[in-house]
Structure 1
Amino acid sequence: MALHKRNTSSDTTPTAAITVVERKAAARLATILVRKAAMQAGTVQVISPNGEQVELPAALADVMFRAAEIVAEGKHVTVLADEELMSTQDAAELLGVSRQYLVRLIDRGEIPAEMVGTHRRVHAKDIKTFKEARDAARNSALDRLTALSEDLGGYDLEKVSNTGSHR
């Protein structure tokens, strides 16, 4: 999951767009990581400019692969530990909802939260879990809607062109 988190509370400037060169490099890295994983069961090595070699564990190679995929799509990535506590504002931004809506989800028990002083904090893993469930439900509903439209002939171009109602 692509995550964006501010480094400091005073960091309010938007992140610069990812360049085409960066996107191409990320796509190439993702391709190399997939090829390496398929050929050598996840063995990936990083070599520094001075020749030092480090073999990456499979979990780290997976994170690098996913990050490379996301950057190749032109999106920004930040890695968060599952246990990291987030403010309701940061969590809301991650989900693409308002902070007030997120607080209502917390109050209804749909997303677990902890109180730190007078502030609610949520674990990154709980936001990820909620987002995955929400997205799965959304995709399921879209699949049902598509199937219904197909059953009713909603995608039949001949019927649309014969009625003269296409635009």
Structure 2
Amino acid sequence: MSSIDTSRVPIEQFDQLEDAAAEISPEMLDLVHALTVSVRAGAQISAFALTDIYTPSEAAERLGMSRTHIYKLLDRGVIGHDRVGRDRRIPGVEIAKFETQRQQERRELAEKFAHRQRIENDALDELADLL
């Protein structure tokens, strides 16, 4: 895993980057948004190779959740892993798959609620027109 020094990145350039992001795919937009939020908050950015292998503790830290929750996800088969004796090892590609799925589900949920709100607003507009 390598860390990227973000201390010298001009914050103003992220505004330009976000404007340009309006014309790119949702996945790339998620990436740009996550980077922008993290850098503006002063967070250190790290990258990892999909071929790296992680312990449950390392995976939990990377995903921002508790080790206990990671073990529950491993037990249910939500995150693929291998056993090495008694220990579990999680390939980086499995962490990436899980995170991609989690972002997709969040996006779908947000779209579902936005659609529901539009339907409610349209119904209220129709009622207002009738009155």
Same fold (TM over 0.5): yes
Tell me the TM-score normalized by structure 2: 0.62
Report matched runs for 1:25-64 at 5 Å: 27=13
Q: What letter corresponds to residue 100 of structure 1 in structure 2?
A: T
Partner of 1:75 in structure 2? 43
Change (3 A) 1:76 1:130: same
2:98 equivalent among 113, 130, 135? 130
**Could you tell me which amino acid in structure 2 is paired with residue 94 of structure 1?**
R
Cα distance in 2, alignment partners of residues 4 and 137 from structure 1: 28
8 Å contact kept, 1:4–1:76: no
- Distance in 1 separating the partners of 2:45 and 2:90: 19
- The answer to whether residue 93 in structure 2 is matched with residue 151 in structure 1 is no
The aligned counterpart of 2:10 is 24
Are the structure 2 counterparts of residues 118 and 124 from structure 1 closer, same or farther at C-alpha, using a change threshold of 3 Å?
same
| Structure with more helix by fraction | 2
The equivalent residue for 2:61 is 93
Query: 1:4/1:76 Cα in 2 relative to 1: closer, same or farther (>3 Å)?
Result: farther
Q: CA deviation at 1:75?
A: 3.4
Q: 1:85: how far off? A: 0.6
1:4 Cα offset (Å): 8.0
Distance 1:104 1:95 in 2: 14
User: What SS class does the counterpart of residue 54 from structure 2 fall into?
Assistant: strand
Secondary structure of the equivalent of 1:75?
A: coil
Of structures 1 and 2, the larger Rg is shown by 1
- What's the % identity of the aligned pairs? 22
Whether the 8 Å contact between 2:39 and 2:45 is mirrored in structure 1 is no
Task: Give the gaps of 5 or more residues in structure 1.
Answer: 6-16, 32-65, 157-167
Extract structure 1 runs of 4+ deviating beyond 3 A.
69-75
Q: Partners of 2:109 and 2:39 in 1: how far apart?
A: 28
Answer yes or no: is the 8 Å Cα contact 1:88–1:103 preserved in 2.
Answer: yes
Give 1:78 shift.
2.1
